[in-house]
């Protein structure tokens, strides 16, 4: 029995960082070679970075990619390697995977199904490679084959499904299988979304099982370009059995996952599958190279350990990695949060703590120091959080002791710097100034919203100033539920450069805080000081306390808001259909007329506040309900706002 040692690798790249990207790829090749790996699959567009956006259209980007490919090839002897890069052919850009065999680039495979949904905009920059087409292209001074290729390297045969290719109904693997393949390579740039790794495992295992081959799946890793998080976790399936499953959410520059596979056994299984359809002629894009793949006497790798994360754990790891990468890639000296002691700002503060905890756990103190070498971290790691995070409570006359205590206890528990400021005089100053100009006193009876908003706005300049002083990032605390209905003061509590929880709904955020208080993750543990936060009702605390303001009395219960948002925005239901769905889900708890009023309120606020969503700080994508107008959910700023549909609904 002979086996081949194969691997899939994840790398944490940065768009347009030519030298950094190259060095990280060289490092993973080094590791693979030192472990005796013979075949290595690396992620989609991993030379340039997946998120180059319109910089893909700069000729310089493709030129640099070709230069990097040349540098890489010089280094990649004794191995078969695939790496993703943009490639120009006939003045058109294609999303390709290059194959290097023992230091020679032998072919470029074109992606056949471009990703254009959700946050993916590939058709803006790339053209789909037409199925079955093969051409030659000039690469590093030589003519090489390009297109719908299949490879035979010393008798070892493989082909490609490039990310979205494998998600489509017409995946290339099924055609390739008819020609007899030992491996399918899948270089991917597949963004994190809750529960998505299970879905990936399903189609990888299914592709490997139905094609009777080994499937190498290599995803990108980390917060590559700001909003999108890749969870890494390279996978290898042997004929439907997962034999390697690399670490997800790693803080390292790369993760290599390898397995020993017995392709002779797979071939004999394929031969005994009577139902299999065979193409007897050679594949039209067959690239044959004489090079001996080294075989070993090692036994084949048996089933991989599955690591399944709960939704709470996935959120913890994704956001931790996203924040850590954002901080180091933007060279920020930590973060500043205006901490109210409520759920949103507490969650954001905890996430900064988690980012550092997870980084130390995986990289060690010296690894974190290396990554953050641009900032002066104290000698004692126990002091790091004071430098990395500053939290400020900003009391107005409507603030309560409970929120201040909650803020202070949490900041101390996570080791952040804590300050308490009073904004009362500033609020009075503005109120008197405007009252003087108007020639009348502003009152809660006639000026409710302006008197609320001035408090939120007065909190912004001081906290921005502190961020400037510390060269830190000001974190905004808006969540997706508030963004859906514009429940925030523009240039007040929306202030900040990054909005970590802007992609997540408030209902889940509250559940996650309860989980973090009492259950926690293996790596980070619990934060019992969240007890104070979790015992509070969400409130803006902007009206006098005798008015008992809560978010849910201003809006509606958060679970209802989340369900309406899902129906309306994600599933694009009409107001009437949304009400039918909501009545089905919540009909036993709330009256039909109450639910109707909430649906109408949601639609009105949703339409009226698109301009606010255009102005929110960038946030991270964590599921398929994002509201970010630049990368996901486009909606007119000015619109008729479904006036007719809402009137009909109210009259029904
Ligand atoms: N289409 C459009 N394009 C551009 N700008 C537009 C616009 N429509 C209105 N505007 C502008 O927007 C202004 C109104 O927006 P804005 O000033 O933000 O205020 P607004 O949306 O009217 O009120 C803020 C709401 O957020 C709530 N809040 C505030 C702070 C914190 C929290 C919390 O979650 O704890 C909640 C508060 O209770 C209130 O219900 C108008 O005065 C107008 O200038
Ligand atoms: N007293 C305060 N001190 C400091 N910041 C505050 C204060 N009140 C509000 N803020 C800022 O305004 C933001 C918006 O308030 P909001 O009520 O939406 O969030 P929260 O207080 O964190 O959570 P919750 O809505 O659950 O009470 C807060 O997250 C915080 O950044
Ligand atoms: N880069 C891609 O083709 C990604 C598309 C795929 N649907 C994913 O999210 O994983």
**CATH number of 169's domain:** 3.60.110.10
How far apart are the C-alpha atoms of 343 and 530, rounded to whole Å?
A: 9
Does any ligand 3 atom lie closer than 6 A to the CB of residue 200? no
Output the known binding site for ATP: 477
Q: Indicate the top mutation candidate among 50, 168, 191 to test ligand 3's pocket, ranked by most ligand atoms within 8 A of CB.
A: 191
Please tell me the residue having the least CA distance from ligand 3 atom 7. Answer: 164
Residues 184, 283, single domain; the answer is yes
- Does the annotation mark 111 as catalytic? yes
Last residue of a domain, one of 254, 289, 324: 289
Nearest ligand atom owner, CA of 537: 2
- 514 plus 484 within the same structural domain: yes
From ligand 1's centre to the CA of 488, what distance in Å? 6
Q: In this structure, is residue 121 part of a structural domain?
A: yes
pTM over 0.90: yes
Judge if the beta carbon of residue 190 lies within 6 A of ligand 3. Answer: yes
Of 264, 255, 249, nearest in space to 236 by CA: 255
Residues 66 and 189 in one domain: yes
- Has residue 303 been placed in a domain? no
Which residue CA neighbors atom 29 of ligand 2 most closely?
A: 345
**Ligand 1: distance of its center to the CA of 453 in Å?**
8
End of a domain among 548, 571, 588?
548
The residue ranges of DSSP E strands in 90-162, in sequence order, are: 92-101, 104-110, 134-139, 142-147, 150-153, 156-160
Q: Are residues 530 and 574 in the same domain?
A: no
Both 573 and 535 in one domain: the answer is: no
* 314 token code pair: 């996935």
Q: Does residue 275 sit in the same domain as residue 371?
A: no
Q: What dihedral do alpha carbons 67, 72, 78, 82 form, nearest 10°?
A: -90
Instruction: Say if ligand 3 is within 6 A of residue 109 CB.
Output: no
Are 273 and 194 contained in the same domain?
yes
Protein residue closest via CA to atom 9 of ligand 3: 190
Q: Do residues 48 and 297 lie in contact, with contact meaning Cβ atoms separated by under 8 Å? A: no
Q: For 482-507, write each residue's pLDDT tens digit.
A: 999 999 999 999 999 999 999 999 99
The count of domains in the chain is 3
- Based on the residue annotation, tell me whether 163 is a catalytic residue of this protein: yes
pLDDT tens for each residue of 247-298: 999 999 999 999 999 999 999 999 998 888 899 999 999 999 999 999 999 9
Instruction: Write down the pLDDT at residue 549.
Output: 86
Same domain, 512 and 640: no
Q: Do 619 and 486 fall within a single domain?
A: no
Residue 298 lies inside a defined structural domain of this protein = no
Alpha carbon distance 413, 298 (integer Å): 50
What proportion of the chain, given as a percentage, has pLDDT over 90? 94
Q: Is the ipTM of this complex over 0.85?
A: yes
**What phi and psi values does residue 474 have, to the nearest 5 degrees?**
-85, 120
Domain hosting residue 355, numbered range: 311-548
Please pick, among 52, 139, 163, 213, the residue that the annotation labels catalytic. Answer: 163
44 is catalytic: yes
Ligand 3, atom 8, residue with closest C-alpha? 190
The ligand whose atoms approach the alpha carbon of 486 most closely is 1
Kindly indicate the confidence band of residue 548, based on its pLDDT and cuts at 50, 70 and 90: confident
Structure tokens at 489: 């003061």
Per the annotation, binding residues for deamido-NAD(+) are 453, 482, 612
In a domain, 302, yes or no: no
Residue 373, exposed/middle/buried by CB under 10 A (0-12, 13-18, 19+)?
A: exposed
**Ligand 1 pocket, residues with Cβ under 6 angstroms:** 449, 452-453, 456, 482, 486-490, 492-493, 540, 542, 551, 554, 611, 637
In a domain, 300, yes or no: no
Task: Evaluate whether 567 touches 595 at the Cβ level (below 8 Å).
Answer: no
Show the beta-strand stretches assigned E in 3-79: 4-11, 39-41
DSSP 139: E
CA of 442 from ligand 2 middle (Å) equals 23
DSSP 365-398: HHHHHHHTTTS---SSGGGHHHHHEEEEEEE-TT
Judged against a pLDDT cut of 90, whether residue 154 lies above it is answered with yes
CA 78 to CA 326: how far, in whole Å? 36
Say if 297 falls within a structural domain. Answer: no
Closest C-alpha among 315, 462, 474, 321 to residue 389: 474
CATH of the domain at 599: 1.10.10
Residue 49 and residue 75 in one domain: yes
- Choose the final residue of a domain: 508, 528, 548: 548
**Cα–Cα dist 648/641, whole Å:** 13
Ligand 1 centroid to residue 342 C-alpha, Å:
20
Ligand 3 neighbourhood includes 120 CB (under 6 angstroms): yes
Give the model confidence (pLDDT) of 604-642 as tens digits. Answer: 999 999 999 999 999 999 988 899 999 999 999 999 999
Where are any strands of DSSP class E within 398-497?
Answer: 417-422, 473-474
| CA distance linking residue 464 with residue 474, whole number of Å | 7
Q: Are residues 254 and 336 in the same domain?
A: no
- The C-alpha atoms of residue 13 and residue 47 are separated, in whole angstroms, by 8
What is the CATH number for 336? 3.40.50.620
Q: Is 507 exposed, middle or buried (0-12, 13-18, 19+ CB in 10 A)?
A: middle
State the number of CA atoms in the 13 A half-sphere of 268 facing the CB.
Answer: 4
Q: Do 382 and 267 fall into the same domain? A: no
Residue 115 CB–ligand 3 contact under 6 Å: yes
Helix (H) or strand (E) holding 316: helix 311-329
């Amino acid at each position: 029995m002979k086996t081949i040692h194969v691997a899939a690798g994840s790398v944490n790249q940065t768009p347009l960082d030519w030298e950094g990207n190259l060095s990280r790829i060289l490092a993973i090749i080094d590791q693979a070679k030192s472990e005796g790996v013979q075949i290595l699959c690396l992620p989609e567009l991993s030379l340039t970075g997946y998120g180059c956006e319109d910089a893909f259209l700069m000729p310089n980007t493709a030129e640099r990619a070709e230069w990097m490919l040349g540098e890489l090839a010089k280094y990649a002897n004794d191995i078969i390697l695939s790496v993703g890069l943009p490639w120009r052919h006939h003045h058109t850009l294609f999303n390709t995977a290059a194959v290097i065999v023992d230091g020679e680039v032998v072919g470029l495979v074109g992606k056949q199904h471009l990703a254009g949904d959700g946050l993916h905009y590939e058709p803006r920059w790339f053209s789909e490679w037409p199925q079955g087409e093969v051409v030659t292209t000039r690469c590093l001074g030589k003519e090489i084959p390009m297109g719908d290729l299949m490879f035979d390297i010393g008798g070892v045969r493989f082909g490609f499904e490039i990310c979205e290719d494998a998600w489509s109904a017409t995946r290339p693997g099924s055609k390739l299988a008819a020609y007899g393949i030992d491996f399918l390579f899948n270089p991917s740039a597949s963004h994190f979304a809750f529960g998505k790794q299970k879905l990936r495992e399903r189609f990888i295992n299914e592709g490997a099982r139905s094609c009777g081959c080994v499937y190498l799946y290599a995803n990108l890793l980390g917060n590559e370009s700001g909003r999108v998080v890749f969870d890494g976790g390279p996978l290898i399936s042997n004929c439907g059995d997962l034999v390697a499953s690399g670490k997800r959410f790693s803080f390292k520059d790369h993760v290599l996952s390898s397995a020993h596979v017995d392709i002779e056994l797979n071939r004999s299984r394929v031969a005994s599958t009577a139902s299999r359809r065979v193409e007897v002629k050679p594949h039209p894009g067959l690239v044959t190279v004489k090079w001996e793949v080294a075989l070993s006497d090692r036994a084949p790798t048996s089933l991989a350990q599955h690591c399944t994360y709960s939704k709470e754990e996935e959120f913890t790891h994704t956001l931790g990695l996203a924040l850590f990468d954002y901080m180091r890639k933007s060279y920020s000296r930590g973060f500043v949060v205006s901490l109210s002691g409520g759920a949103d700002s507490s969650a954001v503060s905890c996430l900064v703590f988690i980012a550092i905890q997870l980084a130390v756990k995986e990289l060690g103190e010296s690894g974190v120091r290396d990554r953050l070498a641009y900032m002066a971290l104290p000698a004692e790691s126990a002091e790091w959080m004071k430098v990395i995070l500053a939290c400020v409570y900003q009391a107005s006359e409507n603030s309560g002791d409970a929120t201040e205590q909650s803020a202070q206890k949490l900041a101390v528990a996570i080791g952040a710097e804590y300050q308490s400021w009073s904004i009362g005089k500033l609020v009075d100053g503005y109120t008197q100034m405007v009252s003087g100009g108007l020639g009348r006193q502003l009152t809660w009876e006639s000026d409710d919203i302006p008197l609320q908003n001035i408090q939120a706005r007065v909190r912004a300049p001081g906290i921005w100033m502190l961020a400037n002083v510390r060269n830190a990032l000001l974190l905004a605390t808006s969540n997706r539920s508030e963004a859906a209905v514009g429940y925030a003061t523009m240039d007040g509590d929306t202030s900040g450069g990054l909005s970590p929880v802007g992609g997540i709904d408030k209902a889940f955020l509250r559940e996650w805080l309860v989980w973090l208080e009492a259950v926690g993750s293996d790596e980070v543990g619990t934060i019992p000081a969240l007890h104070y936060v979790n015992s509070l009702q969400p409130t803006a605390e902007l009206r006098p306390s005798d008015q008992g303001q809560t978010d849910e009395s201003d809006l509606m219960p958060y679970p209802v808001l989340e369900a309406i948002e899902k129906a309306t925005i994600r599933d694009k239901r009409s107001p009437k259909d949304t009400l039918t769905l909501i009545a089905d889900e919540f009909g036993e708890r709330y009256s039909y007329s109450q639910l109707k009023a909430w649906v109408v309120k949601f639609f009105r606020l949703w339409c009226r506040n698109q301009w606010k969503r255009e102005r929110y700080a960038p946030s991270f994508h964590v599921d398929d309900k994002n509201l970010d107008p630049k990368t996901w959910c486009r909606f007119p700023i000015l619109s008729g706002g479904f006036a007719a549909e809402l009137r009909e609904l109210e009259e029904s």
